[in-house]
A and B are shown apart, each in its own frame.
Chain A
């Protein structure tokens, strides 16, 4: 107790250092982990010391590293615009200004900085601001209340709540959180899944991890000091598993969006575990290349260097893990041309939902809860319904489908409906809409099936998944006559983008109802180079090494030779994926088609990369037609 009183009394530099020493942090953590009714906690509460102790207990940063809290006033003037916080002229944090919760200031907490002197910081927008810097993490009363409500506790450097059977569970259900709004008072949420009751969890220990790192989470890849978290989180999971001797096959990893990416990351050493994913980000740097993240997570090199979820997932596919994956085609930023196109993977079920990224988890909640309850209860209940009638409605590029179900099917309430087909060994389910006539289910305009990559000829059933875990299946009375476009289908590759494609390979970018195929080669160039050079040519086998280009002082680290098969559409996205894959600073796009220079410039004018340039050259006399266009 004396120690605590001393902390309260002497807020001097030395004392602070001592308090934030390893020993101080350890004691504080012990205190915060003690019983809430115990004498120590009662004393802390009575003296109003809780927030100080909590900050002490928070993760300790290396010497010379601090947490900063930035409060921006008069934010209305800058609403929707980006801002950056600079320390000695270097960006340490940036974001896009969004309104805070009503009645609260606009705050960004737990920015990691290396100086505690506010004078060394500037803001690049003309707005009054306040910067607080300290050794302990900042929090809010709302966050504390939230943590208390959901039972989130700190265990070393990990944070989680435990639910369900905490004495003798036979299963382990692990959830990881997504992002909340950037200005939320609760920066660190958990995926608690309130709909899952204690009765559901009678045989299961549910672990809800909190991504309590950096300003709004680090994808649980690194801690506040940038050190990988993998070992610490894995240890936590494995300790729980071994404590209760849980069969790894009785583990389910779940996450939506950011949580999905984390789930993929931490499932790595549990190959027998199931994965339930909704719209995970496949390539973090690619996802971070947008205003909300460009000046925070994108700048964190550690997040570029970790194994990307896409790579992990491809490994899991090869291992034939059981994966249920919910996604939307209108989410190329998260999908990165994998889930939309992958097929013939055993034990993979793809659930395609319409809408944008943020719609998916909400729209598919009954089905996801059904899958979870199926796991918790030892398997989904399968029941049959009759599908009396199927009709198809050809549209310009795809088809819509209408299915009439029998009276048993008509009585199913609050379920997700799908049309089911098989992509080789992969089960594919496209979400359907419910007509006001209970017997009618249909794919809306946004739920169309596309002959280029959907199993139109192999649609086999209409499926309803209820939140209680019951899955209803009605075998379709006939097949649809509309043939797939075999030629296009063959080239709809789901292969990863390679920086070392010696021979031409195909890569597809898909966004919404559009897709574009590219044939390309790629190779490494100068290891000292800082530029990804992407040549757009009429034939991927053309040798571009002889081109004389004005590269200034820059050199190409990697070169790609790309033949667009479907025009210029989405060529800018391909270029962006190349530069991010190459971890290059700069992007140089060379268009080898003088005739389409204007169109190409239009396409690449919109490329979302800070340092990019486009050169259009004629095929016959490249040097004389060189048209540098700087669009950075």
Chain B
């Protein structure tokens, strides 16, 4: 095949059409000004699979090929840097500095170390491949999943180290790190087994394996054989790399240990007050009549069962070592340092409310601190309330964390400091809301001593995953809400967010169903007339991710962006509606009518990283509308004002076990006994 004039083909995966106004696309096109003759853009309207890439490698005539999506991000210098680098050379591959979030303005300052290599997304995107070498390699490695192609290519050509060029590329999504990856169903091996991989490649491999296993917990079935996984772990010595996996994927770290040594089937997962929790892995069907396992997963012909158990503390390896400190060794006492926090920049959530209660009722605990970013607008407010504030995520915070006996938060952050983490110390997770979606895989990846549930339904769900840790007390925020004067003044709309809109252009956002559905409600003539006639206002609490696009919505005199806090907005609403936000349950808790507007019910759970657990129609605490007109009618005919026996009964059942007056007391009682 003769060399073509063009140097690089950019294969753009865009099944739904190209977002031509996206920054990414415009940057690609802009490069044509100088380099038109040097690259081609090949738009592909179907998902890129290994098979598709194999076919492409056969038809692409340029010396190099790179794969991208329009949802990705390019540094302004990407094209220039790549082309300038590739023009005089023949190389196996060239890659930029890879990001999962925003590309650094100073790419050259990004530290290329083990942490970078471990965190780097290793899909095919953004990397420039030598087309012919890719084609050659695919003859051997064409059976791996697309997500493993980059790694397999490096293994195949023994590319031990790669120095990234001083430009950036971002896949603009970190979802994979949270939920793992799903590979093609017919794939039977993860990566080829080619010895003598470099440390750099092994770091990539261990992450890839961890993400694959994480994805398996959701997917449950694969054709990849267990034997192949064991070979990968052993051949590449991946157990030596587990310290990178443990902080964010602790289940997978244990799992990889087991793959390496099936004899060691039980692994300490988290220390707890009375007994520690362990994960055990076994190959084979579970015994009949045994407790349902956390997971039953199928690898080729083999079944792997993952179970959780609790064992006395003194059985823990290293328990009796004077040289190690057991953060559970002393009971919580008034001398104990405790740290409470909500989000770094925003308090007014469960930790704040619990802290306020705790300070008022347990003044003898003088070393209880509330952590917050001093730049938060809440800082002064809480200071005025007499909170003992410390700046969150500073050295002072971490030093306090080290000596603390307890951390209480509405957020789960991966806090690690000098060997202390929530794996070996007490943590009360208050939650931000109520689990309506199936978050099993996420919950099982987190460390907590207490998981606060609201109502019997949620508690039952959580107890299957964390029987010892679950506490059905209700959220501290609810107790505060019941104490806030409830004077209905307006309607409140709280739409939540869609993950697939993270990187879209303004134009594409405006064309999204999400925008159109919400905006249609805000500008509905019947609704506006109703508001005008009745002197009501519709307050809209946009999701923080949408705030920057608020200008695109049609707000008006009676439809306003509220600047009230969630609590104030809910306490003063006579009716609250949302698409999927669990925040409306705060309203339901204090008896305010709620409603759901599911304009995209069919697609919503498909596009989100989790599945619905609660059926809104069967268990929802308010009516569910799929049509715009139904929602508007419900409001303008004031149907929400009518007493509704069904929803009242559901509400009672939903919040069963929660004593509105003793939410905080119950949590405090439990946390002090840890």
Which A residues are within 8 Å of any B CB, using their own CB? 388-389, 391, 393-394, 400-402, 404, 407, 410, 433, 435-437, 439-440, 442-444
Interface 0/1 of B393-431, CB less than 8 Å to A: 000000000110000000000000011000000000000
**Assuming A388-B335, A407-B403, A437-B418, is B322 touching A402 (CB within 8 A)?**
yes
Known: A391-B322, A401-B322. 11 other contacts (CB 8 A): A389-B329, A391-B326, A393-B320, A402-B325, A404-B330, A410-B403, A436-B418, A436-B419, A437-B402, A443-B322, A444-B323
* Bound Cα distance A388, B329 (Å): 11
- A406 to chain B: closest residue by CB: B335
List the A side residues contacting B418 at CB < 8 Å.
436-437
* Bound Cα distance A433, B321 (Å): 13
List the B side residues contacting A433 at CB < 8 Å.
323
- A432 to chain B: closest residue by CB: B322
- A400 to chain B: closest residue by CB: B322
Main secondary structure on A side of the interface with B: strand
- B336 to chain A: closest residue by CB: A388
List the B side residues contacting A440 at CB < 8 Å.
325
List the B side residues contacting A436 at CB < 8 Å.
418-419
* Bound Cα distance A442, B326 (Å): 13
Is the pair A393, B403 in contact by a Cβ cutoff of 8 Å? no
Chain B, 320-364, CB within 8 A of any chain A CB: 320-323, 325-326, 329-330, 335
List the A side residues contacting B335 at CB < 8 Å.
388
**Assuming A433-B323, A435-B323, is B329 touching A391 (CB within 8 A)?**
yes
* Bound Cα distance A388, B334 (Å): 12
Is the pair A442, B330 in contact by a Cβ cutoff of 8 Å? no
List the A side residues contacting B329 at CB < 8 Å.
389, 391
* Bound Cα distance A400, B321 (Å): 8
Which B residues are within 8 Å of any A CB, using their own CB? 320-323, 325-326, 329-330, 335, 402-403, 418-419
List the A side residues contacting B330 at CB < 8 Å.
388-389, 404
Q: How far is the CB of B482 from chain A (nearest CB, A)?
A: 38
List the A side residues contacting B322 at CB < 8 Å.
391, 393, 400-402, 442-444
Is the pair B325, A437 in contact by a Cβ cutoff of 8 Å? yes
List the B side residues contacting A394 at CB < 8 Å.
320
List the B side residues contacting A443 at CB < 8 Å.
322
* Bound Cα distance A404, B321 (Å): 14
* Bound Cα distance A404, B330 (Å): 10
* Bound Cα distance A440, B329 (Å): 12
* Bound Cα distance A443, B325 (Å): 13
Q: How far is the CB of B338 from chain A (nearest CB, A)?
A: 15
28 pairs of residues in contact across A and B, judged by CB atoms under 8 Å? A388-B330, A389-B329, A389-B330, A391-B322, A391-B326, A391-B329, A393-B321, A393-B322, A394-B320, A400-B322, A401-B322, A402-B322, A402-B325, A404-B325, A404-B330, A433-B323, A435-B323, A435-B325, A436-B418, A436-B419, A437-B325, A437-B418, A439-B403, A440-B325, A442-B322, A443-B322, A444-B322, A444-B323
- A403 to chain B: closest residue by CB: B322
Q: Which 9 A-B pairs have the closest CB atoms?
A: A400-B322, A442-B322, A389-B330, A393-B322, A402-B322, A393-B320, A440-B325, A391-B329, A437-B325
* Bound Cα distance A410, B330 (Å): 17
* Bound Cα distance A444, B335 (Å): 27
Of B321, B322, B402, most buried by chain A (CB within 10 Å of CB) is: B322
* Bound Cα distance A573, B247 (Å): 55
* Bound Cα distance A435, B321 (Å): 12
Q: How far is the CB of B201 from chain A (nearest CB, A)?
A: 33
- B403 to chain A: closest residue by CB: A439
* Bound Cα distance A63, B330 (Å): 75
**Which of B320, B323, B402, B419 has a CB less than 8 Å from the CB of A442?**
B323
Of B402, B403, B418, most buried by chain A (CB within 10 Å of CB) is: B403
* Bound Cα distance A403, B152 (Å): 52
List the B side residues contacting A402 at CB < 8 Å.
322, 325
* Bound Cα distance A439, B335 (Å): 14
List the A side residues contacting B402 at CB < 8 Å.
437
List the A side residues contacting B323 at CB < 8 Å.
433, 435, 442, 444
- A407 to chain B: closest residue by CB: B403
Q: How far is the CB of B207 from chain A (nearest CB, A)?
A: 29
Q: How far is the CB of A476 from chain B (nearest CB, A)?
A: 13
Q: How far is the CB of A353 from chain B (nearest CB, A)?
A: 17
* Bound Cα distance A437, B322 (Å): 13
* Bound Cα distance A440, B326 (Å): 11
* Bound Cα distance A443, B323 (Å): 8
List the B side residues contacting A404 at CB < 8 Å.
325, 330
- A386 to chain B: closest residue by CB: B335
Q: How far is the CB of A45 from chain B (nearest CB, A)?
A: 59
* Bound Cα distance A389, B326 (Å): 11
- B331 to chain A: closest residue by CB: A389
Q: How far is the CB of A450 from chain B (nearest CB, A)?
A: 15
* Bound Cα distance A440, B418 (Å): 13
Of B325, B335, B402, most buried by chain A (CB within 10 Å of CB) is: B325
Of A389, A400, A436, A440, most buried by chain B (CB within 10 Å of CB) is: A389
* Bound Cα distance A439, B322 (Å): 13
Q: How far is the CB of A579 from chain B (nearest CB, A)?
A: 41
* Bound Cα distance A444, B323 (Å): 7
List the B side residues contacting A401 at CB < 8 Å.
322
Q: How far is the CB of B271 from chain A (nearest CB, A)?
A: 15
* Bound Cα distance A620, B447 (Å): 72
List the B side residues contacting A410 at CB < 8 Å.
403
Q: How far is the CB of B335 from chain A (nearest CB, A)?
A: 7
Q: How far is the CB of B414 from chain A (nearest CB, A)?
A: 20
Q: How far is the CB of B396 from chain A (nearest CB, A)?
A: 13
* Bound Cα distance A493, B335 (Å): 44
List the B side residues contacting A439 at CB < 8 Å.
403
Q: How far is the CB of A418 from chain B (nearest CB, A)?
A: 15
- B330 to chain A: closest residue by CB: A389
* Bound Cα distance A401, B320 (Å): 11
* Bound Cα distance A472, B613 (Å): 59
List the B side residues contacting A389 at CB < 8 Å.
329-330
- A443 to chain B: closest residue by CB: B322
* Bound Cα distance A394, B314 (Å): 13
List the B side residues contacting A388 at CB < 8 Å.
330, 335
Q: How far is the CB of A474 from chain B (nearest CB, A)?
A: 13
* Bound Cα distance A440, B325 (Å): 8
List the A side residues contacting B326 at CB < 8 Å.
391
- A410 to chain B: closest residue by CB: B403
* Bound Cα distance A442, B321 (Å): 10
* Bound Cα distance A442, B403 (Å): 17
- A440 to chain B: closest residue by CB: B325
List the A side residues contacting B403 at CB < 8 Å.
407, 410, 439
Q: How far is the CB of A136 from chain B (nearest CB, A)?
A: 56
- A401 to chain B: closest residue by CB: B322
- A436 to chain B: closest residue by CB: B418
* Bound Cα distance A402, B329 (Å): 11
* Bound Cα distance A425, B320 (Å): 32
Q: How far is the CB of A577 from chain B (nearest CB, A)?
A: 34
Q: How far is the CB of B584 from chain A (nearest CB, A)?
A: 45
* Bound Cα distance A436, B335 (Å): 22
* Bound Cα distance A439, B329 (Å): 14
Q: How far is the CB of A449 from chain B (nearest CB, A)?
A: 11
- A394 to chain B: closest residue by CB: B320
* Bound Cα distance A237, B325 (Å): 51
- A442 to chain B: closest residue by CB: B322
List the B side residues contacting A437 at CB < 8 Å.
325, 402, 418
Of B330, B418, B419, most buried by chain A (CB within 10 Å of CB) is: B330
* Bound Cα distance A404, B419 (Å): 17
Q: How far is the CB of A273 from chain B (nearest CB, A)?
A: 38
List the B side residues contacting A444 at CB < 8 Å.
322-323
Q: How far is the CB of B316 from chain A (nearest CB, A)?
A: 13
* Bound Cα distance A410, B402 (Å): 12
* Bound Cα distance A130, B399 (Å): 65
* Bound Cα distance A388, B404 (Å): 13
* Bound Cα distance A407, B403 (Å): 9
* Bound Cα distance A402, B324 (Å): 9
Q: How far is the CB of A160 from chain B (nearest CB, A)?
A: 44
* Bound Cα distance A400, B322 (Å): 6
